[in-house]
Amino acid sequence: AQSVTQPDIHITVSEGASLELRCNYSYGATPYLFWYVQSPGQGLQLLLKYFSGDTLVQGIKGFEAEFKRSQSSFNLRKPSVHWSDAAEYFCAVGPASGGYNKLIFGAGTRLAVHP
Amino acid sequence: DAGVIQSPRHEVTEMGQEVTLRCKPISGHDYLFWYRQTMMRGLELLIYFNNNVPIDDSGMPEDRFSAKMPNASFSTLKIQPSEPRDSAVYFCASSYTGPNEQYFGPGTRLTVT
């Protein structure tokens, strides 16, 4: 069955520290991969996406993610976190071709940033 | 270009009342998705449309929920009658590529008392 696991429900980091949010997926075929961010009271905003090619993808707001096929992972990273990065982050997988036709979201990781 | 527009942003209603949520997708996007977000269940896909036609409504929880897309620029999600357990944030999203790369609206926070 298709699924997305975000092992960390809550993460707290200090401003300026590095960040890595974990995402693992189970999918029957090669998926497309996404990270979304949701600020309080807002909708989900697309941070970055992986379709094919270079496994290290750059996104908005200084975020990057690395696709590791052997580990079925798509972890999100940022070298230096800003207070404004406090939000909830969702990993999602979607169909690269045919088959299952929905975007599957993880449960989310809530990020808190200490000054 | 304006993003996905949803109205109202907040809705408070009493149990048994009819609720209608509205969505305007991004122009040129021919896929539209309705989601519900709760603390307990996370983000759930309710229904999605392609070219105004409902493709998959398997996520619609009950017959009390219905959705329409009369044209490419407008969709509604209706709950009749509403119940307290329907309280949630409802998101509309649109895409030009199918289920991938969806753009979300700001959501409607529904409270049913």
B5, closest residue in chain A (CA to CA): A43
Distances (CA, A) of B68 to B44, B52, B53, B102: 18, 8, 9, 19
Residues of chain B with C-beta less than 8 angstroms from the C-beta of A102: 45, 48, 56, 99
Distances (CA, A) of B85 to A105, B41, B77: 22, 12, 16
* Residue range A50-93, pLDDT digits in tens: 998 899 999 999 999 999 999 999 999 999 999 999 999 999 99
Distance from CA of B70 to the nearest CA of A (A): 22
A19 touches chain B (CB under 8 A): no
Which one of A41, A44, A49 has the shortest CB-CB distance to B104?
A44
What percent of chain A lies above the pLDDT cut of 90? 77
Mean pLDDT per 10-residue segment, chain B (113 residues): 92 97 96 94 93 93 94 97 97 89 94 98
